[in-house]
A and B are shown apart, each in its own frame.
Chain A
């Protein structure tokens, strides 16, 4: 029974014991609450204030965690750039959730004040200071940049001032050309002009003139948008720039000190911070779960789903945590929709992720997991089809599981690759694929079944046969679903008839290919039987597919049913992609072998040849794993699921079961 049977439970208990009970239930991770409609004379109590406080604290802690992680990354990058070999090869293990017991989880609330005082507030202070430093640095940088144009001015800005009879004009003009300057000098002989510097289209100039002609000069300069220099400090531009540089250096030092030293001291708080975050998160979810519960002034009423196999556990949990509580466990009614949990043995488990990638099956639907697992595994093996690659896949997956210890989706992916490695080895032996090396005929490495390159017709036949079998299994799934819903006639006419047709098709394919390849055995009998079966099935379809329509619709419905053959044939042809991808793996492997062969023959390029081999086969494996993964999934999702799958299952989400950084364990 791959989809777990669910029981709907109803609990009525005392408000005073609610919190304790909810906490206990959440820790079983086996309860999925139902959002109840409000019942007369009850209310739903939801503490908005508490939610706000929790959300605020969570975002505060999350900000600090991210800040500290960034600080660590910056330091690591720095250490790496300094060539520390140890750091270079250190594997990042930050992606995994730390495992924490509930005993420790409960203790964290006592440390809350300590954590806030010694880590959160201080980290926030550092963060604030770094923002300030960044602001100041950019301010100094900008000022230095705008001072740049005056750097050849060797008197202090303060000294550029008027005397009793002269006026000094210092400022910037735009689009000012050399010849403009020369013209000014000629036009105003009494005035002293100095060309100070330029930057882009801006030019800094200085003019010393008699007070009487000051206005005239100003007006002349206005032609180039003269803007007077605003600086009045008592040092030269160059000195000021140097001063800024010193300041920037000091600020950078301070920033480095905060990031490299002070923050690193705080990183020892990271595990606690993460746990505290999840503590709040669980509290928040428990608080939000109140929205699903009806309350009176003294009692509460809650409903939810629990897997049949867990009912006893939940019963005990309720008894242990309440003094009085009414419990009721009933089977779901037909119009209720319990959540879906697929449970299988360990071997099939990873392949469930292929189903979940599409969507979960409905609670009442038969779970396709066994078919998906078997066919995915088979197809992946054909697409890779090489003993060498299969061994590498198994080895890499085993090492990955052993040393990196992936979790969740990553773990499933790695396991799928590892398991498919076995299938790849098997097909590799059948196809004679050994790192795509071409062996002379008759060697022990020769194909046992057929060689895809020299016998493409055989390969096409194999793909079509496997495809038809896959489609037949899809039809079987449809029959199971229809029988479960007690639609027996539909099961016969919409499913068994097509299975019958597919079997005929299968026979016709085998017979037809035997004739095509001029096989020694005469299998034309098979073709004939197959064709008769197909025609018989089609006749039934033509007569019955329109049975639910009225009048003329019966005829069009029947024709429409027969038209379904086109869809079926195109579905089966789609399995030729298995051959296509297998061909890709084999031929690209050959390409690299040929290339490397040229190099390996020469003693001078031997090492380069080895590099080409390693790199080439690595690349080939990676590209084709991606292709095989995607196209194999597509065959499941479109060709196979298309025959029967509704896939509108509800995900089982345990009460307050979401944690971001830690994985909470019962002792």
Chain B
């Protein structure tokens, strides 16, 4: 049986990995690019956005950007106000129409449904929870669909996803200049490749669910050492992440990345390997310390899971995984008190049909969308829904996305990669630098590299170190658009107008009134900075850059 050298694989995988402080963007070339971008932006800045007429599809309510209703203290900017430094951004196409007639599944029994107003504020929150925040101008489209329509437009998107918006590229570390994204070739590019999909896919919910399952199953390329397996692993989540959890768990069990990560490959009847069996119960389906299983169940399950094998050849690594019956333990096993001749699928089924699985599943799924735990009766109703729909994921997620807890409860901290992708979506920008990988990692979330098999710690996204990295993420998004003292900018602008413009730059994110007050106060103080070298336009342009950075790096900007 050919065995890859584990240490060789690890060394290969680890060489460039996650030494947090060493993964820094190349600032020098970055600055050159930024300067070029700024020059280009200056040329375009005076172009009136009004010249680009928005086409409104027929039979669809005309959607207008409302004035900044959330901040009555600020002057309202007309929808077509040009934003200095930001080239006119194509308004994204409206979301594909929801199934017509709208989904007619009976409302799940006993699960509360949000019945309040569904405007831009609620649509924005939905887009952050079920995706990566609104694209510029997009929240109004979703608001016009109403709650059911907006949820269905996200969750039931079908057909092939399109990537719309600027193509990603990054600095070429060898020859200078820029190059397309090459996942699996350049170390940082796998992260850029997926993040680009988060920024540009017409089906953001599919990517968000893939991220959720990536976190749930916690496989890291640090352990696997072969990006092609991780890419297939994530594709599996894209294809099956909205279907049945039982099917998903079975597919993950026989997925190459998981077989390698938890030693399912080459686990044979003579000497079963318990690694996957244990995490299947402890982390993926049942949870520890609840009396759901015993050590004996793990060992018996490990016997039931034996038989998976694979081909490994240098230099290309793993090529093919298959079930080889001769290595499978066909004798009877006793799992959760039931004696049978379990095969690998049976073992997964035993876990998913375990009576303590629905409570584990619902709580874990809920916590991905809502910051506070569900009330007991709601949890029970969701468990019932999950069982009645035969372990289907989508009905439970849709029920959560329509739950009052999403719209009336506290906000949720955006995960680092959600925050990062959302910055670019708000600007209509694309990935232009390799820095997104290292700085998102510094903020606590390097795609394809969760810290361990239990995924990321969502309760700990914010600390003094990750907040600093989020400041730098905002800087990366701002950089190509940053105004300086020589940028064209109006010479006359009140502090409140300056803040309104900084909010508009980010597509009017929902900041609280007290934050807006401090920003206006800061804008007033910035007007007093002693700098005799700058004309009034230059002073206002520089002030604008500062306000833009503060707006989106503010604590309010970290949550939605």
Are chains A and B native binding partners rather than an unrelated pairing? no
Residue positions of A touching B, CB distance < 8 A:
none
